[in-house]
Amino acid sequence: MNRSKRILVLASAVFMISVQNSPADVSLPGIIGSNMVLQRNQDLKIWGWAAKGEKVTVHFNEAVQSTRAGKDGKWLITLPAMKAGGPYSMRIRGKNIIDLENVLIGDVWICSGQSNMEWPVRESAIRCLLLLLPGGRDEQRPEQFGSVAPTHPAATGTPVRVLSV
């Protein structure tokens, strides 16, 4: 190996060792952030990463909990169960501070598997409105109702308030 390659390898090794031993900011997984909804009436688990042994404190809706990051840099705080409400702010404090805004507590639904899940709600409201207009629905083609059965008020012509989304 020539001299320049040896220097490059040595410099890279020194850099990697220094990065591993440098203090880390508190960080969160992508699922925890502003505009999130936390499940009501269940303990709330907030987790992330920080420097080994770093103290991490979470302030949320009058609850304050602290812990220390483990040897692997991982930390977990469990906040008490709370009733539905919000919007709230959450502050996670370590060597740095992360402020989360518009955090709600309510019912969390996990959905997957359908290609129409990316269909904007706005288009659903428009489709529903079109089906309610005179002549807008075809009783002979129930598949155009999707999951709305013909006996549902939206399918029978009962007045429905369509909100702007």
Instruction: Kindly state whether residue 51 falls inside one of the protein's structural domains.
Output: yes
Q: What is the pTM of this model?
A: 0.57
Residue 49 and residue 98 in one domain: yes
Q: Do the domain assignments include residue 161? A: no
Supply the pLDDT for residue 108.
87
102: left (phi over 0), alpha (psi -120 to 50) or beta: left
Q: Are residues 125 and 102 in the same domain?
A: no
Question: What is the domain count for the chain?
Answer: 2
What's the start-to-end Cα distance of the chain, in Å? 65
Same domain (yes/no): 79, 34: yes
pLDDT confidence of residue 135: 54
Phi, psi of 65 (to 5 degrees): -135, 145
Residue 139 belongs to domain spanning: 115-156
Alpha carbon distance 131, 34 (integer Å): 36
**Contact (CB, 8 A) for 123 and 165:** no
Q: What's the mean pLDDT in 87-105?
A: 96
Domain boundary among 106, 130, 147: 106
